[in-house]
Amino acid sequence: MTGHFFEGAEKLLEIWFIASNNNNDLDNDTLSNDLRNIPRELIEEVLNLVNCKVLKYAKSATTDTYVLSESSMFVFQTHFVLKTCGETTLLHAVQPMLELARDYCGFDIVDQIFYSRRKFLRPELQKTPHTSFEHEVAYLDSIFESGCAYVLGRTNVDCWYLYTLDKTSVSTKSDQTLEVIMTELDPEKMKIFYQEYTSSASEATKKAGIDKLFPNAKIFDYLFDPCGYSMNGLLPNGHYFTIHITPEPDFSYVSFETNVPYDQYQEIIRKILKIFNPGKFTTTIFGDTAAISLDRQRKLFLYSDYGRIDHQVVCLVDYDLFYSYYKKHPS
Ligand SMILES: C[S@+](CC[C@H](N)C(=O)[O-])C[C@H]1O[C@@H](n2cnc3c(N)ncnc32)[C@H](O)[C@@H]1O
């Protein structure tokens, strides 16, 4: 393969912290246990190590959000989500973020970590330590004790990797996340995300109907030149959604992620499929034990036009995980 290529598949890192000494002294910002106390310029230095730049920054009462040259970051009081694509070296953020969390927020204990990604389209283009999942696991194992690594799906087709810690979380939180990863997208729908056809990010957001997904969201969007699109949406109560689009037909890729809690995800997934019309897609649903009942997710969802390839359920220490992979029926 030669010529222009962009690896849309993101590396996704989520780290939750706790402090051995609780310090929520609001008069002393530098000591209170809150990741949003980390100065923004230091976060940007970490992002430089990962090889991405901040394009947009905004904050709400609960969340600091960054639209990046390669995807997104969300920073909450006790956890952060960092999602980066292309040839970024996301795992280079881990050690510096642990140090910043300790020095600026008093967070000296990692409560849980999730690192995941789908199989790269062109793994040979990735930089160390992302050259293989085994190398990524070795890198994380050099930092964390009790790491466990999983692969879901078919390793000779499309699969999805996860690294987490084999430990019980100390903090009681209600956390659940849906990720929809789509490939082989409808070229007509993808035209929206080219500057040739659409003059601004907000126009792309409206044309695609992304603004209708969560009508009360504050949207921070970006349209790349000549094509490509990223957006972060902030909702009340620390909820968010984020969409990233690589529209080039030879390697088209779209991801959708949200922590908005649902007791069944079928309807939101159907809306996403209608907007993007992918040839193949993967859904991953994570829910901790305090999350809205996830029992209904155990049943395989059915989507017209799509056939199921795989459906796997993994019961982790505090979390249940549902992985499903679908492919469009031949027309
Ligand atoms: C950063 S965006 C979205 C990436 C995301 N992970 C996804 O789901 O595809 C990537 C798209 O923007 C295009 N693009 C244009 N300029 C870019 C830049 N300076 N950095 C990253 N991507 C750029 C790429 O060709 C690609 O189509």
pLDDT tens digits, residue range 69-79?
A: 999 999 999 99
Number of other CB atoms surrounding residue 211 within 10 Å: 16
Helix, strand or coil for residue 296?
helix
pLDDT recorded at residue 298: 60
Is residue 4 one of the residues assigned to a domain?
Answer: no
Is residue 169 one of the residues assigned to a domain?
Answer: yes
The answer to whether 311 is a known catalytic residue is: no
pLDDT recorded at residue 295: 58
Is residue 141 one of the residues assigned to a domain?
Answer: yes
For 210, how many CA atoms within 13 A lie in the half-sphere containing its CB? 31
Residue count of the chain: 331
Is residue 3 one of the residues assigned to a domain?
Answer: no
CATH number at residue 110: 3.60.90.10
The answer to whether 85 is a known catalytic residue is: yes
Number of other CB atoms surrounding residue 135 within 10 Å: 14
**Which comes out higher in pLDDT, residue 297 or 247?**
247
Distance 171 CA to ligand 1 centre (A): 36
For 301, how many CA atoms within 13 A lie in the half-sphere containing its CB? 25
DSSP class of residue 191? G
Beta pairing, strands 11-18 & 109-118: antiparallel
The answer for 201, left when phi > 0, alpha when psi is -120 to 50, beta otherwise, is: alpha
The answer to whether 230 is a known catalytic residue is: yes
pLDDT category at 170 given cuts 50, 70, 90 is confident
Ligand 1 cavity residues, CB under 6 Å: 6, 8, 10, 69-71, 85-86, 224, 227-228, 230, 244-248, 253-255
Checking ipTM against 0.85, whether it exceeds it is yes
Beta pairing, strands 109-118 & 147-153: unpaired
Task: Kindly name the residue from 32, 52, 69, 71 that is annotated as catalytic.
Answer: 71
Is residue 1 one of the residues assigned to a domain?
Answer: no
Q: Which residue has the tokens 């293989």?
A: 132
Whole-model pTM: value is 0.95
Count how many domains the chain has.
1
Is residue 152 within 8 Å of residue 314, measured between CB atoms? yes
Distance 225 CA to ligand 1 centre (A): 9
Q: What's the gap between Cα 272 and its chain centre?
A: 16
pLDDT category at 288 given cuts 50, 70, 90 is confident
Is residue 6 one of the residues assigned to a domain?
Answer: no
Is residue 89 within 8 Å of residue 128, measured between CB atoms? yes
> Distance between CA atoms of 205 and 259, rounded to whole angstroms?
20
Read out DSSP for 118-184? EPPS-GGGPPTTTTSHHHHHHHHHTT-SSEEEEEEE-TTS-EEEEEEESS--SS----EEEEEEEES
Distance 229 CA to ligand 1 centre (A): 7
pLDDT category at 29 given cuts 50, 70, 90 is very low
Task: Kindly name the residue from 32, 239, 244, 252 that is annotated as catalytic.
Answer: 244
Peptide bond into 236 cis (omega under 30): no
> Distance between CA atoms of 130 and 13, rounded to whole angstroms?
13
The answer to whether 71 is a known catalytic residue is: yes
Residue 71 belongs to domain spanning: 11-328
Give per-residue pLDDT as tens, 109-131: 999 999 999 999 999 999 999 99
pLDDT category at 331 given cuts 50, 70, 90 is confident
- Tell me whether residue 214 is annotated as binding: no
Is residue 5 one of the residues assigned to a domain?
Answer: no
